[in-house]
Amino acid sequence: MTGPVYDLLVRGGRVLDPGEGLDGCRDVGVRGGVIAAVEPALDPASAARVLDARGALVCPGLVDAHAHVYWGATSIGAWPDEVCAGGGVTTVADGGSSGTDTFAGFRRWIAGGSRTRVLCHLNLARIGLTGLVGELRPDLVDPDGVARLIHEHPDLVVGIKLRLSATITGGPCRPMLELGARVSAETGTPLHVHIGGTAEPLSELLPLLSPGDMVTHYQTPRPNGLLDGAGALLPAAREARERGVLFDCGHGMSHFGFAVAEALLAQDFPPDTISSDLSRRSFPALAPGLLTVMNKWLALGMPLADVVRAATASPAAALGWAGRIGALRPGAEADIAVLDWEEGSFTYADALGEHRPARRRLVPVATIRRGTISSAGPGRRDGPAG
């Protein structure tokens, strides 16, 4: 007697995977922790477990390319499974919490101890975000150590983090960007560059970035953002995108401004990736996490497919994991987010206290990581096919 064909069958949902060109009613079969089949109909009797997704949206597991999850080592570190698994996120990339002095603990206890897949943008400074001072100071940066860890841990380190604010560098930001760019070129690892409050205007810094580098907090309302004094997009920003530089939301606590976001959308400059930049401090306001940030972009009129792509296929590619995560294709990791629409009257706030309304929002139904259901909401069948 042969066993079930599938370990899990996610049945009858609207499969939306813009990266794979999928939008329609499909069944998703999972076997051995990977996607085995995506078809219009699969026999539920062929599965050991069935999750009834009828009426729901079935997407690749969400990929949060910027958050702070070095729990226990930094004052802002959230526990990955607490802030990810309940909101459809199956992969998170920490945004520079660890440096060369603290990376071993991050690898063992955070990346190695979480159900959520955890990746790392390694801070150019050896202390990461564990100190109480701005870390990008000449006596704290460790370019040689960063290069060594990238070479030793290519499965975990996906970027080099630079927080380019004058308060972090202690003055001009360009020298640290030039140093980071050198390490990036030597290792083939992209930069993950925080903006907002740089000493220099971005028109002087963006030309130093290379294809694959990522600018985060792109809609920041803080000084020296992507808009000039008249609200127009800096030509240097469009030139950077044209040569392959990526622009990431990086919501955070002080970097999301509705007026800036609306101006960027109006000038045909949407985010390439949508990330939360959540932390232990911001999670209560952002719960369930990345979905709240996605809902803000939906409230601003960004199309659903573009929002889903910016939280799945696009960050997966930016992190060097294209096709392995952020995709519902046979052979990819069986990371799946099941979402639903909630109708009502909702209000979202930005960092400046401005508000925008919404009549519907996405809410989590189930999060599936490597074929295992991490969380499932009420009214969904999660049990033996029987």
Binding-site annotation, residues for Zn(2+): 66, 68, 161, 194, 217, 277
* DSSP-assigned letter for residue 45: G
Pinpoint the alpha helices (H) of the chain.
80-84, 103-105, 143-152, 166-169, 174-187, 202-205, 235-242, 258-266, 283-286, 290-299, 304-310, 313-318
Phi, psi of 151 (to 5 degrees): -65, -40
Q: What is the largest CA-CA distance in the chain?
A: 72
The candidate with the shortest Cα–Cα distance to 4, out of 54, 57, 42, 60, is 42
Which residues belong to the annotated binding site?
A: 66, 68, 161, 194, 217, 277
Matching residue, tokens 């990431």: 248
Taking the CA of residue 357 as centre, how many other CA atoms within 13 Å lie in the half-sphere pointing to its CB? 4
Q: What is the DSSP string of 212-264?
A: T-EEE-TT--SSS-SB-TTSPBPHHHHHHHHTT-EEB---TTT---HHHHHHH
Which residues on adjacent β-strands are paired with residue 60? 336
Spatial contact of 189 and 158, defined as CB atoms under 8 Å apart: yes
Three-state DSSP at 325 gives strand
- How big is the CA angle at 146 (ends 142 and 147), to the nearest 5 degrees? 120
* Phi-psi region at 37: left, alpha or beta (left = phi > 0; alpha = psi -120 to 50): beta
SS3 for 49-94 is EEEECCCCEEEECEEEEEECCCCCCCCCCCCHHHHHHHHCEEEEEE
CA distance 68 to 125: 16
Over its C-alpha atoms, the chain yields an Rg (Å, rounded) of: 21
